[in-house]
Structure 1
Amino acid sequence: MVDRDDVLTAAQRALNADPAASMTAVAEAAGISRATLHRHVDSREALLVELGTRSLDQWEQRLDDVDVEALAASDDADRIRAALEELVLGYVDDSDVFGFALTDQVILANAALEARTQVLADREAVLFAAAQSVGVLRTDLPARWFGHAIYGLLVSGRDAVRLGDVARRDLGRLVLSSLLTGIATP
């Protein structure tokens, strides 16, 4: 018997490969019938909300792993920079698993997921503000801008890998370099 976690993992893979995948295609990817899939989730929308929740759980875990609030209070520029780099590289890794969730309109339009997204973005902004105060990030930009910039780089990175424009192995370096040093000639 296939458990719920296996079904959701297969659904993530199927939707990353084809964000418009039907429930039939998702069921086939999980190696189950559509009827069995519907025993795990009521609808495509419910599936997407469940996967969006998993995505946010992972984001929250990344923030917890670097202990973002304690780190921000440390005023230690080296630790803050190292944690920021770890966080961004973790997000790049997560974008392999949750890439479709970055742009899926059902997920983005769900009020509960949007509210939780704002809470996590607020936690993240605390780190960005601390990074600004110790000279790791530019102070002439709003702290929340960095979260939007990272998000945009993750979407761009996902698309660039999918289109074959960049190698997956280079993506972390490209995202981190674009974020921290920009794209202009130094």
Structure 2
Amino acid sequence: MSANEDKLLAALAAALLAHPRGTLKEIAEAAGVSKATLHRFCGTRENLKNMLLTHGAAIIERIIFHPALKEGPVRPAFEQLLLSHLAHSEVMAYVAFNWSPDSPFVGDHSWLHYTEALDAFFLRGQKEGVFAVELSAAELTEMFGSAVFGLFDAQRRGRIAPARLPSIIRHFFASTPASDSAY
């Protein structure tokens, strides 16, 4: 996929998130392209949705197969994981908000691969003392996903500045929980 197509898909993902029931004309305008360009690019709304989900699956695959996630120092790998999500925030948010348990596959890829890769990464980080051991790796994966995708939505709604996202998530994961008696 070309850089221009990647940018267009990001803009279209943001437009669909902002105007989920918008017409193709409204989506095109929100993405900064003409309706004719949008029609040539994807043809139909359903095809656009499928293109975004397939593109999102390819992004997810690149994230989970990045070598840093499986080996090497955990802190730089976490940074890479975070920056990879942030670099594709519009498409990742579109995929997250349009996936449902009734359709577990995004393109030809299962979300299971994503969660398994993150579980393994967080477990490795726990073993190396980087992440809290009071939480399971699965809980850390769910917290990461919830934090990232929740903050994408907050950014989209104007509640959080885009430049603050990385530091918010870093801070969230740098903190370890206090004992249960503190609650």
Deviations 1:91-137 (A, max 9, x none): 133224532322125x6643431852211221222111111111111
For the Cα contact (< 8 Å) 1:157–1:171, is it kept in 2? yes
Higher relative contact order (CA 8 A, sep 6+): 1
Give the direction of change, closer, same or farther, for the CA distance of 1:46–1:164 in structure 2 (3 Å limit): same
For the Cα contact (< 8 Å) 2:14–2:94, is it kept in 1? no
2:15 corresponds to which residue?
Answer: 14
1:31 paired residue among 33, 38, 45? 33
Q: Percent identity?
A: 23
Scaled by the length of structure 1, what TM-score is found? 0.73
2:103 corresponds to which residue?
Answer: 110
1:127 paired residue among 118, 121, 125? 121
Give the direction of change, closer, same or farther, for the CA distance of 1:164–1:31 in structure 2 (3 Å limit): closer
For the Cα contact (< 8 Å) 2:122–2:131, is it kept in 1? yes
Distance 1:53 1:145 in 2: 27
Is the helix fraction higher in 1 or 2? Answer: 1
Distance 2:45 2:177 in 1: 39
Give the direction of change, closer, same or farther, for the CA distance of 1:43–1:81 in structure 2 (3 Å limit): same
Structure 1 residues without counterparts, runs of 5 or longer: none
Scaled by the length of structure 2, what TM-score is found? 0.74
1:157 paired residue among 110, 129, 151? 151
Aligned length: 172
Cα RMSD (Å) of the superposition? Answer: 3.0
Matched, 1:94 2:93: no
Give the direction of change, closer, same or farther, for the CA distance of 1:27–1:165 in structure 2 (3 Å limit): closer
SS at match of 2:145: helix
Structure 2 residues without counterparts, runs of 5 or longer: 179-183
Distance 2:103 2:24 in 1: 19
Give the direction of change, closer, same or farther, for the CA distance of 1:120–1:160 in structure 2 (3 Å limit): closer
Letter in 1 for 2:156: R
For the Cα contact (< 8 Å) 1:66–1:87, is it kept in 2? no
Distance 2:10 2:172 in 1: 30
